[in-house]
Amino acid sequence: MATNKILINKFRDVFGRRPTFEAFAPGRINLIGDHLDYNNCPVLPFAVNLRISAVFAPREDNRICVADSVDRRGRRSFEAEERIAPYETGDWGNYPKAAVQGVVTDKIGERRRFKGFDAVIASDLPQAGGMSSSSAFVVLTGMIFCAVNGFEYPPLGFSSLMAAAERYVGTQGGGMDQAACVNGRNGKVLKIDFNPLCCRPFSVPDGISFVVADSLIKAQKTKAALSLYNSKPVESRMAAAVLNRRLPEVLKTVRQPFSLGDLTAEKLGVSDGEIDRAVFSVLKEGGYTYEEAAAAAGMSVDELKRSRCLMSDGTPLPEPPEGFALFRRVRHVLTERRRVERCARALEAGDAETAGRLMFESHASGRDDGGFSCPESDALTEIARSAGALGSRQTGAGFGGCCVSLVRSGEMETFKEKLMRDYYGTYLNRTHPEIPGGAKASAVFTVVPSDGARIRPLSV
Ligand code: NG1
């Protein structure tokens, strides 16, 4: 990571003046509960000690200029105005644009003119690694834009604003990343609930460490990767449409309209077993065609596509040859939310073994029912298991990226060595000989739960 001094010097070179503030926004690890947030189900992430940092100074006009500290990514410059046109899909400049557009849209009723800023940024987060470098960047630039304009939001309000703002880049995510980035607390894991958003920090048992291992399989947020991610929220919405029509026939306590996150024993006043029996009696196990899903939801195909199935480019999700796996997607959501609750209780009670076992089960659910794993993450978590991890799972959006393992602190060094040998040495060399050795050398590291995003004046 570039030190502040490097960032300050770079700022002087690029903008010909001194920066006046510094800021950072952390990435996050999700311990358990992926592809749940957009279904309003709880998740268990924490902000990490890796982050995007910036030094910045306000400008008198409405221009935002962001430069990368190492010139690798160049600079982006745009104006804060009512409608900010995006760069091409996948361009990093869309993240600050997303943040600024989000705040401008929220404030345009009370203010027509906005102040911009100059900033130099640096990141030590793995890119496309499932550690939310994109949301950290959105939160960072959103926070700077608010600061230079004197806008103040409460932390949960700002988290929700940034979650909605990030959809500008084309992802249909649910808000976990921005909430973890803003509300992170040193030494604490966050239990995050949605609708309404609530972040509860709690301590983790002594003597365990969180080890991250990057599978080195990258799911860049290109158009294809966006579609891969967005297919999951779309399938969830389709499943919810079918269940809204069919579930009340067999479960009398359900109140429409409901999301998958409303299907809990607490809300419905029945047991988990009864919910499962009802849900899986009305969903068929095989794939659905559009016609079948529309008929089950009591809609025309057109209405289903328009109301539930649109991707970020406005076209409906293409029907997979094997059909939409609604049964398995719902099974992932229902079982994973229970694992999240149990894992939170286990960690709070100091029971790392149970928490770890739930992480392994969670990975299997993401692989078999969620459909967002990949062979490399599967191999990596199995190698972590045989290297002594209490638990291990792919974290974040999936299709590659990082795995997080729960490891007894005293066993960390041997654990890391085994991972280096068996995954990066043997497995990856055989399956991906094109991945350079340098990337492998820095792919395993320990993370600690850390504070959320902050701004401070720079001392002169
Ligand atoms: P990452 O791993 O940061 O791309 C994405 C979504 C989250 C959540 C996870 C899966 C965005 C910005 N982030 O995270 O909301 O759905 O996948 O749990 O869309």
Distance of CA 283 from the midpoint of ligand 1 (Å): 26
pLDDT of residue 460: 65
Ligand 1 near 332 CB (within 6 A): no
Ligand 1 center to 134 CA (angstroms)? 9
Nearest-CA residue for ligand 1 atom 7 is 173
CATH classification code of 4-203+452-457: 3.30.230.10
Whether the CB of 261 sits within 6 Å of ligand 1:
no
Taking the CA of residue 132 as reference, the ligand 1 atom at the shortest distance is 3
**CA atoms of 85 and 426, how far apart (whole Å):** 46
Determine the residue of 44, 127, 132 to mutate for testing ligand 1's pocket, defined as the one with the most ligand atoms within 8 A of the Cβ atom.
Answer: 132
Give the model's pLDDT for residue 90: 87
Sorted by sequence, the CB contacts under 8 Å of residue 178 that are 6+ apart come out as 135, 138, 139, 159, 160, 162, 163, 166
Q: Which tokens go with 16? A: 């010909």
Q: Is 166 in the pocket of ligand 1 (CB under 6 A)?
A: yes
Q: pLDDT at position 222, please?
A: 67
**Cα dist from 438 to 109, 434, 442, 443, whole Å:** 51, 12, 7, 9
Kindly give the parts of the chain with pLDDT less than 70: 1-3, 219-222, 460
Residue nearest to atom 6 of ligand 1 (CA): 173
CA quadruple 444, 445, 449, 453: dihedral sign: negative
The dihedral built from the CA positions of residue 295, 301, 305 and 309, taken in this order, carries a sign that is positive
pLDDT at 412: 96
Question: Can you give the pLDDT at residue 219?
Answer: 67
C-alpha distances in Å from residue 303, one per residue of 238, 295, 299, 324: 11, 11, 6, 17
The atom of ligand 1 lying closest to the CA of 36 is 18
Atom of ligand 1 nearest to the CA of 163: 12
CA of 69 to the centre of ligand 1 (A): 26
Is the Cβ–Cβ distance between 130 and 42 less than 8 Å?
A: no
Atom nearest to 138 CA in ligand 1:
12
Q: Is the CB of 22 under 6 A from ligand 1?
A: no
| Start-to-end Cα distance in the chain | 22
Contacts of 298 (CB under 8 A, 6+ apart): 245
Q: Are 20 and 6 in contact (CB under 8 A)?
A: no
104 half-sphere exposure, CB direction, 13 A CA radius: 22
Return the pLDDT at 421.
97
Amino acid identity at 380: L
| Average confidence score pLDDT of the chain | 95
Could you say which of 68, 177, 262, 422 is catalytic? 177
Say if CB 106 and CB 161 are below 8 A apart.
yes
How far apart are alpha carbons 8 and 67 in whole angstroms? 12
The C-alpha atoms of residue 421 and residue 290 are separated, in whole angstroms, by: 46
Q: How far is C-alpha 38 from the chain's CA centre? A: 10
Determine whether 34 is an active site residue: no
Can you give the C-alpha Rg of the chain in angstroms?
22
Residue 126 is classified by DSSP as P
